[in-house]
Chains A and B, each alone.
Chain A
Amino acid sequence: MAGLVLDEICKGWDFPVLDRLSLTVEEGEFFVIVGPSGIGKTTLLRCIAGLERLDAGRVIIGGQDVTAVKPYRRGVAMTFESYALYPHLTVFENIASPLRARRQPKEDIARQVESVAKLLKIDHLLDRRPHEVSGGQKQRTALGRTLVAKPEIFLLDEPISHLDAKIRHELRRQFHTLEDLRRVATLYVTHDYAEALSLGDRIGVMGEGGLVQIGSPREVFEKPADLFAARVLGQPSINEFSAEVEGSDGALSISVENGAIRFPISGPPASVLGDHSDRGISVGMRPQHLSVVRDGASSANGHPTVEGTVDVHEALGATGVLIATVGEQPLTVITSPEDHYASGEPVKIALEPENFLYFDRQSGRNLMLGQS
Chain B
Amino acid sequence: MTTNAMATGQSNYRIIRYIVLAFLVIWLVFTLFPLYFAIITALKPVDEINRMVPTFWPETFRFDNFAGIFADPGSLKSLIDSIIIASANTALSLVLGTLAGYALARYLRGALGENLAFFILSQRMFPPVAILIPIFFLFDETPWGTDSYITLVLLYLVFNLPLATWLMMVFFRDAPKELEEAAYLDGYTPFRAFFKVTLPLVVPGMISVAMLCWIFAWNEYLFANLLTGTTVKTFPVHIPTFVAGSQTLWNFVMAFSLVAMLPPVLLFIVLRRYMVRGLSLGVVKG
Chain A positions within 8 Å of B, measured between CB atoms, are 49-51, 70-73, 76-78, 80-88, 97-98, 100-102, 129-132, 134-135, 138, 145, 149, 162
Contacts and interface: CB of A to CB of B under 8 A. Distances in A.
Contacts of B283: 82-85, 87, 130-131
Best-buried of A71, A73, A129, A162 by chain B (most CB within 10 Å): A71
Contacts of A149: 186-187
Given A72-B188, A88-B201, A101-B188, A131 B182 contact: no
Contacts of B178: 80, 82, 84
A102 B282 contact: no
Nearest to A97: B186
B197 A86 contact: yes
B189 interface: yes
How many of chain B's residues touch chain A, expressed as a range?
A: 20 to 34
A87 B197 CA distance: 9
A26 B188 CA distance: 27
A51 B197 contact: no
Given A71-B181, A131-B286, 11 more contacts: A49-B185, A72-B193, A78-B182, A80-B178, A84-B179, A86-B179, A86-B196, A87-B283, A88-B279, A97-B188, A162-B285
Contacts of B285: 81-83, 135, 138, 162
B185 A71 contact: yes
A72 B189 CA distance: 6
A84 to B, nearest CB: 4
Interface string B257-286: 000000000000000000000011111111
Nearest to B280: A87
B186 A88 contact: no
Nearest to A79: B182
A84 B184 contact: no
B192 interface: yes
Given A135-B286, A162-B285, A84 B181 contact: yes
Interface in B158-216: 176, 178-179, 181-190, 192-193, 196-197, 200-201
B189 to A, nearest CB: 6
Contacts of A87: 179, 201, 279-283
